[in-house]
Amino acid sequence: MNSTDHSTPTPTRELRLWPAILLIVLMVVARVFPKLLGLRDPRVLTVSFLGPALCGMLLLLGWWLASSRAAWKDRIVGVLGVAGLAVIAGFLSDRSMLPLGYMMYAIPWGMAAFGIGVVGASLVAIGKPVWIGLLASLIAFGYWDAVRSDGVNGDFRDARSWRWEPTAEERFMSELATRAKKPGELATSLEKVAEVAEAEWPGFRGVHRDNAILSAEIDIDWEVRPPRELWRHAIGPAWSSFAVAGNRLFTQEQRGEMEAVTCYDADTGDELWALDYPSRFWEAIAGAGPRGTPTWHNGHLFTLGAEGILQCIAANTGAQIWQRDLREDASRKPPMWGFSASPLVVDQVVLVHAGGDGDRGVLAYDMETGDLAWSAPSGDHTYSSPHLVELLGRSYVLMLCNDGLCALDPTDGSVAWKHAWGMEGYRVVQPLVFGESRILLGTGMEEGTRCINIDINGDQLDTTEVWTERSIKPNYNDYVAHEGYLYGFDHNIFACIDLETGVRQWKKGRYGNGQVLLLPDANQLLVMTEQGELIVLRTNPEKLEVLARHPVLNGKTWNHHVLVGNRVYARNAEEMAAYELPMVVR
């Protein structure tokens, strides 16, 4: 007698998919939403950077492991599989992707791909969802292992290349190997260099560090007489500008594992000399290379490298005279984006910001010997440079840092007065003095700009806040003042504000995070956009008035450009170029 089995099979439970779909949508929102709104608050940026990774963890653990309804074997396989792929991807990632790119992109993409694969396989009933998810995760992690980061622009939009393609620096180093001069050529170059005695543009932002060029006017009929390219050459990465003395250009750059101070012929762009030394600074946002600009003074160059190497160099030969190390003198490591101050020469001392504890904030060195002359307290975090100004008949060195503005007596470093304005983020731009007693303090992110007034109170000077406005928020884009108005960058858009009130007059011109020069006698502005385009504007508080424009450089351009005579010298992290501009003869 046959028995009949009346048992029924256990029904297969459908996967709960909606939490996965919700978390994937949240990952996209966390990444894209702050950028669409132009939000720059550090807390918001943290959500944009790390929010997708957190959602990815919730996707893997909160949904798949805890509440997906998948078989427990599949849950364990999925979690261990994605975790294993993440670990392997971390080991195989290009150095430029670690740790920021790995956390921002590889981890979220790998986890999101797993969720998308599982959801997709479940909806169309193709294959086993856990294996489809792992395959999708493998592809995602594999993509991020195949690329490298080329840094980000001023809006934190990243640039990527395949990791097997040579970098701009590698291409430059290959070219550099073919540039070796013969002894006779080097001697001829040095003879040319030795003739120079004056510096038309002695360092960062010009004579007074204000980006102003007097007695100059650009002929704006560029359709008839466009700027003429004189030369163009590859250069090592750095965010340095130029110092210009006669027919020489001085700058700084990274050359492999060596930092270099370099001198170029202003007429041809040919290298005259290079002083290199073992040092390499790199970080994921801005990449490799020095940040400061050489300072020329009486035939000497003073330079500060990104890892803190301060040097005095003979400008005619490139021979080192003395060297100091800020890491030792200030007992600190380089800040997040490297030591960035351009040295300031006042009388017989050379000043730099070091940001050490106690009185090791600003360091002053004897110009001839390199001995420490004095030191003064300052904030520990800034990418601004010491700034010499005249206020109410007295000289001060201003230092804008994370804790506010400090005014030092240049003779001994004693603190004359301070204005407290602390912040968690960074400050980069120079303080701007206008009128007899007013100073602008610029801050990027969402802090904005503050105007303060300096008042005489007996033998003391006091500061009072005039206004603080978010109408202009400069990141690393110094602004200029002209006839009662300020012209500069509000993040990536050019703007004009009333200096008396801080009220914005207009905001227009998406030039990225570029730089601007002022030609006050001609009521002109010479803008270099982040994309490397040169634009002439009229100083017009009523509207943005574009007079002429011409492409100059290729690639991301954060460096300050220079105008000397009728020549513009410009560079970025990949190339440098010189252009002759048509000028109005007065």
Q: What six digits make up the tokens of 559?
A: 């460096």
Q: Which residues in the chain land under pLDDT 70?
A: 1-13, 35-42, 180-197
Cα dihedral 476→501→217→473 (10° resolution): 10
Q: Write down the pLDDT at residue 9.
A: 47
**Residue 47, φ and ψ in degrees, nearest 5:** -60, -40
Whose CA is closest to 527, among 541, 544, 543? 544
Q: In the chain, where does the domain assigned CATH 2.130.10.10 lie?
A: 169-580
Cα torsion through 2, 8, 10, 11, rounded to 10: 140
With vertex at residue 338, the alpha carbon angle to CA 332 and CA 342, rounded to the nearest 5 degrees, is: 100
d(CA 483, CA 519): 12
- C-alpha 47/C-alpha 42 separation (Å) is 9
For residues 183 and 248, give the distance between their C-alpha atoms in angstroms, rounded to a whole number: 20
Alpha carbon of 522 to those of 177, 517, 526, 549: distances in Å? 44, 12, 11, 17
User: What is the structure's pLDDT at 457?
Assistant: 82
- Taking the model in full, what pTM does it have? 0.91
pLDDT of residue 478: 93
Per-residue model confidence (pLDDT) at position 569: 99
Pair type for strands 524-528 and 533-538: antiparallel
Neighbours of 463 (CB within 10 A): 19
Q: At the fourth CATH level, which superfamily is domain 169-580? A: YVTN repeat-like/Quinoprotein amine dehydrogenase (2.130.10.10)
